[in-house]
Chains A and B, each alone.
Chain A
């Protein structure tokens, strides 16, 4: 008799969720349209700008950034070499599209994540609400984020960016919060003693001193966005992720391997450069 769970106590959550979503769409369609337009505009402009750049200039730019960030000839050569490798595999264009999505996602994550992180740092109550949400978000499988994005925004690049942002923003919030909370009390006290307002303290002391930690958050967010962009290709993100997806569908392991390698290369380039700048700043203030 206990082989079947009694239907009488089954909860029908799925219809409720679906109802809620269609209610939101019916009543706040304008809001979602607006968000979609903003994201689409940002994305298109970024894509245009990046793909407009001639490839030698992009290579030069990567070399320059790698050099200023790491001050290491080896790193500069390797990082630029990785970009050359992407080009030689024939994935230069796709990599640039992926890069545009990543930059857009990280930008939006930053705009959303920073204020939330600041709020969590300045109010214990807000922290108590936000923390469990972040914990939950990070244990959720990445695929789950595709569903609401899909429902609210349909297929395409916009929902892909939104899913990516939702998946990638938690570390930024977490580390912004942590960074601000661990700023030395003595600097804050000094600013207070000289009559700084809470705003001035945030701007002059807390944010600059938390910046290395916040930058570590941006770095993590970027890496997570890169991972998510592959998954988000399932709902229409173009670029390298789509290439991997195609390779899976067509059972073409070689092609998948190439595209996968390019994603790793892109990750390494972005990681090394951002990490390098973060370390430099950290060094300068300690």
Chain B
């Protein structure tokens, strides 16, 4: 997962691509700026707007997905990034360099050294062997035969095609051919990997398998990837951030959980309708960002007040920098309050269970179930960002359950009644 501060490897600034724009390019670009719709432009000016003022940034290590219906301009957009299709307007900055200003030769250097692409229809050279295909990018770069072989072989091994080196692509199944395409891209050692619907030509089982393998590869090798797809599951499963396109325009860029829980408009909503939000939620989307905290040395009395008020039965002990030191239960604090004491780490504080804000929901269950305290959501410095209780988790899931609307009885009131009790003070003192 890329964080916000990572280097920006690729940036698109208002990139537009027009087809059939001879003679009226400027008029169409002006119409676009004035917000005239794609259909209107097409019927009035005869120009097809392939991509419309697309802007986005892709960070080092990020998995960026471009998703949209057929004809929404995904392929056009990803191709304009390395000028396989010439953009009509806008800037494309790859690794700090505006590639739209480059000569043919300069652009070739970028293609040779910074990017690699995987195609929906593989784009393999049918007369070359698997190994020769895998090394093709290195060959255009003029790398020596020996080094080429080594790198290509290693890429072939990584995609699981060992033993097939001397076969021609026609002897391979679709899934295996796409592995060759992937090996060709990996041997190229690209700063940015571009993929246009790489898995959509495969049958569902092979597709799932390839997606999972690729997700693993992406993590292991810390790739920066831009993937085009119209498969929602694929986008949600693989993407760190997803850009949704419609009629050539990017209408929302969001993380999978934001997209599912908070779609920008009805179009996005209908797009993500089928997705089960809980599946793609992470700690950040479930947590309360206002956890109960106290400093070491605070009076127990005031902590008790706070806990009563907010009906939260654990308090995190934090230091001046809001770093989590420990967690204390209602019972302990109440006992301290009765004796008029103050909160100290030594007076019954426990080590809290923690997770980071990107922990997926399925990994949260064991954490939350293994402690009677809320789970502390912390960043990599240990600073407290939020907390997650069993309730919050269940609440998140509850949104995901299809209740029988006809029968009000069938909707269990999980949130308000039963479950709340599990965190309420009890007289039993359970050890953590």
The docked-state distance in angstroms from the alpha carbon of A187 to that of B117 is 12
Partner of B168, one of A187, A194, A196, A284: A284
Give A284 Cβ to nearest chain B Cβ, in Å. 6
Partner of A189, one of B112, B123, B184: B123
The docked-state distance in angstroms from the alpha carbon of A70 to that of B357 is 67
Partner of B141, one of A190, A195, A208: A195
Over the window 131-169 of chain A, the binary record of Cβ atoms lying under 8 Å from chain B Cβ atoms (1 yes, 0 no) is 000000000000000000000000000000000000000
A266 on interface, CB distance cutoff 8 Å: no
A205 on interface, CB distance cutoff 8 Å: yes
B287-329 interface with A by 8 A CB criterion:
none
Give A266 Cβ to nearest chain B Cβ, in Å. 31
| Contact yes or no, B168 A285, CB < 8 A | yes
Query: Which of A193, A204, A211, A286 is most buried by chain B, counting CB atoms within 10 A of its CB?
Result: A193
Task: Given the known inter-chain contacts A187-B124, A285-B168, A285-B170, please indicate yes or no for A194 contacting B140, CB distance below 8 A.
Answer: yes
A192-248 interface with B by 8 A CB criterion:
192-197, 200, 204-205, 208-209, 211
Give B228 Cβ to nearest chain A Cβ, in Å. 14
The docked-state distance in angstroms from the alpha carbon of A205 to that of B188 is 19
Give A185 Cβ to nearest chain B Cβ, in Å. 9
Query: Which of A190, A196, A197, A286 is most buried by chain B, counting CB atoms within 10 A of its CB?
Result: A190
Give A179 Cβ to nearest chain B Cβ, in Å. 13
| Contact yes or no, A286 B170, CB < 8 A | yes
B111 on interface, CB distance cutoff 8 Å: yes
| Contact yes or no, B126 A187, CB < 8 A | yes
Question: For residue A25, which residues in chain B have a CB less than 8 angstroms away from its CB?
Answer: none
A191 on interface, CB distance cutoff 8 Å: yes
| Contact yes or no, A195 B127, CB < 8 A | no
The docked-state distance in angstroms from the alpha carbon of A205 to that of B136 is 11
Question: For residue B188, which residues in chain A have a CB less than 8 angstroms away from its CB?
Answer: 194
**Can you name the residue of chain A whose Cβ is closest to the Cβ of B110?**
A195
| Contact yes or no, A192 B111, CB < 8 A | yes
Give A126 Cβ to nearest chain B Cβ, in Å. 21
A3 on interface, CB distance cutoff 8 Å: no
Question: For residue B124, which residues in chain A have a CB less than 8 angstroms away from its CB?
Answer: 187, 190
Partner of B119, one of A186, A200, A204, A285: A186
Give A18 Cβ to nearest chain B Cβ, in Å. 49
| Contact yes or no, A285 B141, CB < 8 A | no
**Can you name the residue of chain B whose Cβ is closest to the Cβ of A197?**
B108
The docked-state distance in angstroms from the alpha carbon of A190 to that of B120 is 11
Question: For residue A284, which residues in chain B have a CB less than 8 angstroms away from its CB?
Answer: 127, 168, 170
Question: For residue B84, which residues in chain A have a CB less than 8 angstroms away from its CB?
Answer: 189, 192-193
Question: For residue A189, which residues in chain B have a CB less than 8 angstroms away from its CB?
Answer: 84, 119, 123
Question: For residue A187, which residues in chain B have a CB less than 8 angstroms away from its CB?
Answer: 123-126
B108-122 interface with A by 8 A CB criterion:
108-113, 115-117, 119, 121-122
**Can you name the residue of chain A whose Cβ is closest to the Cβ of B185?**
A194
**Can you name the residue of chain A whose Cβ is closest to the Cβ of B136?**
A194
B68 on interface, CB distance cutoff 8 Å: no
| Contact yes or no, A195 B111, CB < 8 A | yes
**Can you name the residue of chain A whose Cβ is closest to the Cβ of B109?**
A195
The docked-state distance in angstroms from the alpha carbon of A196 to that of B116 is 12
Partner of A196, one of B109, B115, B140: B140
B130 on interface, CB distance cutoff 8 Å: no
Partner of B140, one of A186, A200, A209, A285: A200
**Can you name the residue of chain A whose Cβ is closest to the Cβ of B141?**
A195
| Contact yes or no, A208 B136, CB < 8 A | no
Task: Given the known inter-chain contacts A194-B112, A195-B111, A196-B140, please indicate yes or no for A186 contacting B168, CB distance below 8 A.
Answer: no
**Can you name the residue of chain B whose Cβ is closest to the Cβ of A284?**
B168
The docked-state distance in angstroms from the alpha carbon of A225 to that of B140 is 39
Question: For residue A192, which residues in chain B have a CB less than 8 angstroms away from its CB?
Answer: 84, 111
B82 on interface, CB distance cutoff 8 Å: yes
The docked-state distance in angstroms from the alpha carbon of A196 to that of B122 is 17
Question: For residue B117, which residues in chain A have a CB less than 8 angstroms away from its CB?
Answer: 190, 193-194
The docked-state distance in angstroms from the alpha carbon of A209 to that of B127 is 7
**Can you name the residue of chain B whose Cβ is closest to the Cβ of A200?**
B140
Over the window 153-187 of chain B, the binary record of Cβ atoms lying under 8 Å from chain A Cβ atoms (1 yes, 0 no) is 00000000000000010100000000000001000
B386 on interface, CB distance cutoff 8 Å: no
B126-143 interface with A by 8 A CB criterion:
126-127, 136-137, 139-141
Over the window 259-286 of chain A, the binary record of Cβ atoms lying under 8 Å from chain B Cβ atoms (1 yes, 0 no) is 0000000000000000000000000111
Give A277 Cβ to nearest chain B Cβ, in Å. 14
A170-192 interface with B by 8 A CB criterion:
186-187, 189-192
Query: Which of A204, A208, A211 is most buried by chain B, counting CB atoms within 10 A of its CB?
Result: A204
Partner of B126, one of A191, A193, A195, A286: A286
Question: For residue B119, which residues in chain A have a CB less than 8 angstroms away from its CB?
Answer: 186, 189-190, 193
The docked-state distance in angstroms from the alpha carbon of A193 to that of B181 is 12
Question: For residue B111, which residues in chain A have a CB less than 8 angstroms away from its CB?
Answer: 192-195
Give B184 Cβ to nearest chain A Cβ, in Å. 7
Question: For residue B126, which residues in chain A have a CB less than 8 angstroms away from its CB?
Answer: 187, 209, 285-286
Give B142 Cβ to nearest chain A Cβ, in Å. 10
Partner of A194, one of B109, B127, B137: B137
Question: For residue B170, which residues in chain A have a CB less than 8 angstroms away from its CB?
Answer: 284-286
The docked-state distance in angstroms from the alpha carbon of A200 to that of B139 is 10
The docked-state distance in angstroms from the alpha carbon of A189 to that of B125 is 11
Q: Across the A-B interface, give the 10 residue pairs with the lowest CB-CB distance, nearest first.
A: A190-B123, A195-B112, A195-B111, A194-B137, A285-B126, A193-B117, A285-B127, A208-B127, A186-B123, A195-B140
Give 17 A-B contacts (CB < 8 Å), ordered by A residue: A186-B119, A187-B124, A187-B126, A192-B84, A192-B111, A193-B84, A193-B111, A193-B116, A194-B137, A194-B140, A195-B109, A195-B112, A197-B108, A200-B140, A209-B127, A285-B168, A286-B170
